[in-house]
Copies of this chain bind each other. A is one copy, B any other.
Amino acid sequence: MSAASDFTPTPRTSVRRLPGRAAYDRATVFAILDEAIVCHVGFAVDGQPFVIPTIYARVEDRVYLHGSAASRMLRALADGVEACVTVTLLDGLVLARSAFHHSLNYRSVVALGRARPVADPAEKRAALEAIVEHVLPGRSREVRAPDVRELAATTVLRLDLEEVSAKVRTGRPLDDPEDMDSPCWAGEVPLRLAALAPVPDPQLRAGIEAPESARHYRRPAP
């Protein structure tokens, strides 16, 4: 699928509150999925929903999750239960003149579906590499790749992106006309994820410098 095409809204993914903030195009959805670092995965066990933060990667129309084969979340998801993968980027505080109109600027994606275990070794290796690359582009070429034992201890799940929606709020506060003369400051406080200087492992061998990608880390990846 090209990034120009749209996901088809379903009754479950149609944004009903403030539908003007909804987006279903792949370009918007992919950009959000690629910029965020963690997602929040929702699944139910015995009727109780759980929401767990975890790392992921998008490859074309698929999201890959991974974890220990012993993980409660991975085992529940691998059973093929209905799941929800949500990614949120917080872009700013929206400070209005009234408490009621305070808001946040954000970009979020909600993807519904059933995750399936990846059995094919080549797809599994590629997914794990994509997850490392998602966090730090180029990193998979710098590090030792997973060995057979590590691959066996890791479960990789794949969620095909089919029922997907994005929601985006940008811009200024939307105050009521009767509040516009308020003496109260109004506007936005933009928020960004910032990376500090890399902290070397205390046991790092002498003379090894942090890679450029870590010294100038930013999202979205350059």
Query: Which residues of A are at the interface with B, using a C-beta cutoff of 8 A?
Result: 12, 16-17, 37-38, 40-45, 47-53, 55, 67-68, 70-72, 82-86, 88, 90, 93, 95-100, 102, 104, 106, 108, 110, 112, 128-129, 132, 135-136, 139-140, 142-147, 150, 154, 172-173, 175, 179-205, 208-211, 214, 217
Give the contacting residue for A217; candidates B93, B110, B129, B203; CB below 8 A. B93
* Bound form: Cα–Cα A140–B173 in Å: 16
User: B205 contacts A181, CB within 8 Å?
Assistant: yes
User: B189 contacts A86, CB within 8 Å?
Assistant: no
User: Given A96-B143, A185-B209, A187-B210, list of 19 further CB < 8 A pairs?
Assistant: A12-B48, A17-B70, A37-B104, A38-B104, A40-B88, A42-B51, A48-B82, A52-B86, A90-B193, A93-B214, A99-B132, A99-B146, A102-B132, A102-B139, A102-B143, A173-B201, A191-B193, A192-B193, A194-B194
CB-based closest 5 A-B pairs: A194-B194, A42-B51, A42-B49, A51-B86, A40-B40
* Bound form: Cα–Cα A29–B158 in Å: 32
Which residues of chain B come closer than 8 Å to A205, judged between CB atoms? 181, 183
- CB-based nearest B residue for A132: B99
Which residues of chain B come closer than 8 Å to A112, judged between CB atoms? 48, 50
User: B49 contacts A144, CB within 8 Å?
Assistant: no
User: B72 contacts A17, CB within 8 Å?
Assistant: yes
Which residues of chain B come closer than 8 Å to A186, judged between CB atoms? 200-201, 204
Which residues of chain B come closer than 8 Å to A84, judged between CB atoms? 42, 48-51
User: B135 contacts A102, CB within 8 Å?
Assistant: yes
Which residues of chain B come closer than 8 Å to A183, judged between CB atoms? 205, 208
Which residues of chain B come closer than 8 Å to A86, judged between CB atoms? 40, 51-53
User: B99 contacts A145, CB within 8 Å?
Assistant: yes
Which residues of chain B come closer than 8 Å to A100, judged between CB atoms? 144, 146-147, 150, 154
- CB-based nearest B residue for A82: B48
